[in-house]
C-alpha cells in the first residue's frame, strides 16, 4: 500500500519578515513532520517593527488556491489565519463548504499584529462571524481579539468566561474556543478552553519567558494544534502538545537577535522527519 504524508492546508497572509503569517505556519507544520500546503490571502509589507501595507489578493485567486489543494492533496486539517476583507472571507467559506469542510478547521482570528497594526478591515468582522466562525473546530483568539468578537472587556477569569459565552453563539456544535492570555502581565500566562456553548473546559498555564521574540506565536500555536489534530489527538491533548512546542520554540529563540523589534521564535529547535501514514 502506498504511504502518504499528513497534508495540512494553511490559508493566511504572507509576512515578508518570515516570522509570522503563512511563513510561520509552513515552518511549524514542517517542523512537526507534516506536509504544508498553502493558500495566500494577502501580501503584507512588514518587518519585526511593524506592518506598513497590506495588499489583498483577488478573492477568486484565494478560492482557486484552496480548490487546487483540496481537489488534489485532500488535506486532513485546515488552518485559517489572516483574512483581510469581506469578499475574501466569503470566498474562503464558500470553497470550504463546497468541499464539505476538512476534518478539522482551526481559525486564528488575526486582527492586530504583535506590533499593533490592524490586519482585518472593520467591515469584515460581521462577515467573519457569520461565514467562518460556524465552520470552526477550534477558534483561537487572544484577549484583544476576544474583546473585539464579544464586545466584553476582559480583565479576569469571570469576564473571560462572559466573553466566551457571547462568542460561542456564532460557533458550531462540537467546536471549541481557546482564549489566549499571552497579553496579560505577570509571570504566568493562562489560556482558557471553552466548548461550543461557551462553558469552561480547562486552563493551560505556563511560565512567561523573558524575551521580545514573540512575533508569530499565535500563528505558530494554531498551526501546531492543526497538525496534532490531524495526527489523531483529541482537542485537549493537541492543545497541550502545541503549547509545549511553542514554549520550547520561544525559549530556543529567546536570546537571538533578528531585526529591531519583535523577533521570531525558533521553529526548528528540534524538527521531526516527515510523518508517513498508510
Domains of the chain, earliest start first: 4-267 (3.40.1190.20)
Residues known to be catalytic: 180, 214, 216-219
Model pLDDT for residues 3-61, shown as the tens digit of each residue: 999 999 999 999 999 999 999 999 999 999 999 999 999 999 999 988 899 899 999 99
pLDDT of residue 269 exceeding 60: yes
Model pLDDT for residues 170-201, shown as the tens digit of each residue: 887 789 999 998 656 567 889 999 999 999 99
The residue-averaged pLDDT of 259-274 equals 93
Q: Can you give the pLDDT at residue 124?
A: 85
Q: Can you give the pLDDT at residue 117?
A: 54
Q: What is the 3-state secondary structure (H, E, C) of the chain?
A: CCCEECEEEEEEEEECCCCCHHHHHHHHHHHCCCEEEEEEEEEEEEECCEEEEEEECCHHHHHHHHHHHHHHCCCCEEEECCCCCHHHHHHHHHHHHHCCCCCEEEECCCCECCCCCECCCHHHHHHHHHHHHHHCCEECCEHHHHHHHHCCCCCCHHHHHHHHHHHHHHCCCCCEEEEECCCCCCCEEEEEEEECCCCEEEEEEEECCCCCCCECHHHHHHHHHHHHHHCCCCHHHHHHHHHHHHHHHHHHCCCCCCCCCCCECCCCCCCCCCCEEC
Model pLDDT for residues 198-221, shown as the tens digit of each residue: 999 999 998 889 898 999 999 999
| pTM for the full predicted model | 0.93
Amino acid at each position: 500500500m502506498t504511504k502518504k504524508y499528513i497534508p495540512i492546508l494553511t490559508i493566511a497572509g504572507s509576512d515578508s519578515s518570515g516570522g509570522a503569517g503563512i511563513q510561520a505556519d509552513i515552518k511549524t507544520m514542517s517542523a512537526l513532520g507534516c506536509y504544508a500546503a498553502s493558500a495566500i490571502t494577502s501580501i503584507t509589507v512588514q518587518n519585526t517593527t511593524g506592518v506598513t501595507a497590506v495588499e489583498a489578493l483577488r478573492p477568486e485567486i484565494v478560492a482557486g488556491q484552496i480548490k487546487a489543494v483540496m481537489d488534489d492533496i485532500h488535506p486532513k486539517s485546515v488552518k485559517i489565519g489572516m483574512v483581510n476583507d469581506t469578499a475574501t472571507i466569503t470566498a474562503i467559506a464558500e470553497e470550504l463548504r463546497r468541499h464539505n469542510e476538512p476534518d478539522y478547521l482551526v481559525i486564528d482570528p488575526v486582527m492586530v499584529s504583535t506590533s499593533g497594526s490592524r490586519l482585518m478591515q472593520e467591515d469584515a468582522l460581521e462577515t467573519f462571524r457569520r461565514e467562518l466562525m460556524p465552520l470552526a473546530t477550534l477558534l483561537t483568539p487572544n484577549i484583544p481579539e476576544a474583546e473585539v468578537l464579544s464586545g466584553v472587556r476582559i480583565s479576569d477569569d469571570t469576564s473571560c468566561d462572559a466573553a466566551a459565552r457571547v462568542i460561542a453563539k456564532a460557533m458550531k456544535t462540537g467546536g471549541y474556543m481557546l482564549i489566549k492570555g499571552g497579553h496579560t502581565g505577570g509571570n504566568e500566562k493562562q489560556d482558557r478552553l471553552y466548548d461550543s456553548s461557551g462553558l469552561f473546559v480547562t486552563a493551560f498555564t505556563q511560565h512567561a519567558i523573558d524575551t521580545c521574540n514573540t512575533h508569530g506565536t499565535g500563528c505558530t500555536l494554531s498551526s501546531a494544534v492543526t497538525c496534532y489534530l490531524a495526527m489523531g489527538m483529541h482537542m485537549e491533548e493537541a492543545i497541550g502538545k502545541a503549547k509545549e512546542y511553542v514554549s520550547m520554540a520561544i525559549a530556543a529563540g529567546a536570546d537571538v537577535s533578528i531585526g529591531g523589534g519583535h523577533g521570531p521564535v525558533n521553529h526548528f529547535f528540534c524538527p521531526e522527519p516527515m510523518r508517513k501514514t498508510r
